[in-house]
């Protein structure tokens, strides 16, 4: 059955101006057939809603397999103690892990999320993704703690997780480096060789001051992190430059690159990446940044450089929920100069492009099947503390 839906305002995700007095027409599968003037249709045939219609959300950074760790990590500890908590946590049954994965997947769907860029170190999430209503791009993560001589063993350790994740038109996968501070040059080469040109590769980037300090002067919190786990850094030599430059030296510019967190990224870092490749995206996970380190990126840097920002939730280990809307509200609350339509673009079309799903998701356009959501915005077209999302399609 063909449906016709209208609302007070319709935001397509690609423009800064809301559509007024329009109707979205779509088929039973949710594919948009047309956007038309509402006056051209019998009022009895149109579902008129109060609020703003927006495209379905794209969550470009999640760790679905860590969903069982909700409420198990302390807030405000900083990244290194947080990582130590995650690495050292044990003794959870597979039944509990899989149940938490199922519930987290359902939470994201109910929250209006249509696609997820998901980090995996294991194959625990593979079955859920094959059954989910959500589209997934699985980033199978590799790391070797900068141990050049051990790269082969670490690569072989994570390769089975890569092999077991599905790869097709709906769900895709690629091999990715964890972060500049955990991947040797030898391992970068192996990761690059596993991927095809045009894929998306994500990497955690400049999440904490200690990361830049390691690469600039071989000082900071990561020295304690490595010594605590018994990994020598004797051969590591600082470059005098921020950590993102090490990533750029070793990643493949033929792939779309998604830098994640970017809390400490400067305008100069952003411009360096954009000079390296035109296919650069910047995933921000504001609630996770507040959870772990009580800090946020300076979003003005990304506006000044016309950077393509996307939104992620990170995991339930480092967040209170998996809601793109709550991430949007946090940005609007703490850096309110960012316009609503800009934040919406970050949450929709930019994310779809970063994951390569823009042909079907991310914006309200004829021929797409993006999902339609209803938001209750304030009269000033801004997100409110009590803004909620309702899935229409």
- Give the pLDDT score at 90: 64
Portions of the chain given CATH number 3.20.20.140: 57-359
- Angstrom distance (rounded) from CA 115 to CA 105: 11
**3-state SS, residue 367:** coil
Burial 225-242 (b: 16+ CB within 10 A, else e): bbeeeeeebeebeeeebb
* Strand arrangement, sheet containing 280-284: 200-205, 256-261, 280-284, 309-311
Return the structure tokens found at 236: 């590591």
**Cα separation of the two ends of the chain:** 13
Q: How many helices (H) and strands (E) does the chain have?
A: 14, 14
Q: Which CATH class is domain 57-359?
A: alpha beta
Helices in the chain by DSSP H: which ranges?
Answer: 79-88, 94-110, 126-131, 151-164, 185-194, 209-217, 221-229, 243-250, 267-276, 286-293, 299-304, 324-334, 340-347, 349-355
- Give the pLDDT score at 168: 81
Query: What is the residue whose two structure tokens read 């990224």?
Result: 265
- Asked if 316 and 104 count as a contact pair (C-beta separation under 8 A), the reply is yes
- Angstrom distance (rounded) from CA 299 to CA 374: 26
Q: Which of 96, 38, 46 is nearest to 66 (CA)?
A: 96
Strand partners, 116: 59, 136
- Dihedral of alpha carbons 341, 346, 347, 349, sign: positive
- Dihedral of alpha carbons 110, 347, 354, 361, sign: positive
- Give the pLDDT score at 46: 98
Supply the DSSP symbol for 109. Answer: H
- Give the pLDDT score at 211: 97
Average pLDDT by stretches of 10, the chain with 393 residues: 96 96 97 98 97 98 96 89 80 92 98 98 96 98 96 97 89 97 98 96 97 97 89 93 98 98 98 98 98 97 98 97 98 97 98 98 98 93 95 95
Q: What predicted TM-score, i.e. pTM, was given to this entire model? A: 0.97
Cα-atom radius of gyration of the chain, to the nearest Å?
A: 21
């Amino acid at each position: 059955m063909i449906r016709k839906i209208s609302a007070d305002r319709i935001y397509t995700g690609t423009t800064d101006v809301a559509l007024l007095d329009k109707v979205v027409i779509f088929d039973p599968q949710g594919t948009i057939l047309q956007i038309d003037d509402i006056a051209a249709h019998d009022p009895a045939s149109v579902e008129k809603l109060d609020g703003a219609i927006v495209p379905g959300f794209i969550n470009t950074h999640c760790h679905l397999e860590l969903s069982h760790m909700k409420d198990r990590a302390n807030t405000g500890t900083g990244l290194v103690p947080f990582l130590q908590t995650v690495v050292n946590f044990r003794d959870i049954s597979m039944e509990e892990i899989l149940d938490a994965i199922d519930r987290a997947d359902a939470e994201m769907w109910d929250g209006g999320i249509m696609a997820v860029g998901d980090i995996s170190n294991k194959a625990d999430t593979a079955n859920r993704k094959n059954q989910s209503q959500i589209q997934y791009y699985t980033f199978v993560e590799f790391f070797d703690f900068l141990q050049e001589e051990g790269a082969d063993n670490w690569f072989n350790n994570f390769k089975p997780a890569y092999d077991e994740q599905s790869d097709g038109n709906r769900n895709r996968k690629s091999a990715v480096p964890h972060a500049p501070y955990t991947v040797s040059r030898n391992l970068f080469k192996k990761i690059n060789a596993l991927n095809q040109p045009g894929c998306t590769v994500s990497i955690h980037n400049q999440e904490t001051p200690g990361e830049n300090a390691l690469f600039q002067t071989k000082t900071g919190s990561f020295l304690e992190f490595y010594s605590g786990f018994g990994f020598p850094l004797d051969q590591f030599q600082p470059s005098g430059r921020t950590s993102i430059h090490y990533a750029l030296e070793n990643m493949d510019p033929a792939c779309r690159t998604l830098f994640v967190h970017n809390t400490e990224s400067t305008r100069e870092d952003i411009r360096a990446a954009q000079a390296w490749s035109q296919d650069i995206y910047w995933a921000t996970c504001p609630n996770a940044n507040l959870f772990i380190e009580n800090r946020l990126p300076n979003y003005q840097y990304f506006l000044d450089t016309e950077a393509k920002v996307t939104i992620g939730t990170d995991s339930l280990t480092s967040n209170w929920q998996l809601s793109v809307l709550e991430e949007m509200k946090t940005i609007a609350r703490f850096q309110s100069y960012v316009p609503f339509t800009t934040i919406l673009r970050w949450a929709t079309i930019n994310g779809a492009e970063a994951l390569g799903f823009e042909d079907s998701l991310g914006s309200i356009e004829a021929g797409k099947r993006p999902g339609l959501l209803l938001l209750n915005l304030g009269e000033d077209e801004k997100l409110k503390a009590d803004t909620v999302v309702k899935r229409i399609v």
